[in-house]
Amino acid sequence: MMFLPIFFFFSLLFSFSQASVVDFCVADFSLPDGPAGYSCKKPAKVTVDDFTYSGLGKVGNTSNIIKAAVTPAFAAQFGGVNGLGLSMARLDIAVDGVVPMHTHPGASEILFVGLLHFQINSGKTNALAIVSFSSSNPGLQILDFALFANDLPSELVEKTTFLDDAQVKKLKKVLGGTG
């Protein structure tokens, strides 16, 4: 139900653009992305499929360590939003699941502001959230992975987190870090 307005919005943009200047910049995935996003696909090669994305309609797989799944509709997945300064994501959170502490360095978020934040499902059934970002390329930096899925010496991580050696080694092991 949420996806129809999105499609409609882009359809409008697309039809207006025929009469005036091109006001979209569908991602050209054959070129690397830069700070301003992806390069624009040649308008003649743009099709209606570039403005539809059904990923948000699929339930994410929450069989993982955080019991949660983030399904992004960022420029990398949904080329139509490239350059439009917005994006969305779907969060599926199983009971007791959590989206660990993270930031989006390239965007603010409507669910929470773009500062460090996390989501947890403390209810008794699965939770679903659709979020919106102020950038087509918001980024995602999960703090747990930054701290423990690395090969920095454990002593260094202990100093910055005030955790003890056993805790840091345990977290590194769980999240795939070494050292």
User: For the sheet containing 87-93, what is the strand order?
Assistant: 68-73, 87-93, 127-133
Site for ligand NAG in 48-77 (CB under 6 A): 61, 63
Give strand ranges (E) for 30-86: 68-73
In the block, tokens 């080329």 appear at 79
CA distance 16 to 144: 45
Confirm if 175 and 148 have CB atoms less than 8 A apart. Answer: yes
Q: Does 47 bind ligand NAG (CB under 6 A)?
A: no
Query: In whole angstroms, how close is the CB of 139 to ligand NAG at the nearest point?
Result: 24
Query: In whole angstroms, how close is the CB of 92 to ligand NAG at the nearest point?
Result: 11
The residue with its CB nearest to ligand NAG is: 61
Interface contacts to ligand NAG, rule CB under 6 A? 61, 63
Instruction: List binding-site positions for Mn(2+).
Output: 102, 104, 109, 117
Residues making up the binding site for oxalate:
104, 109
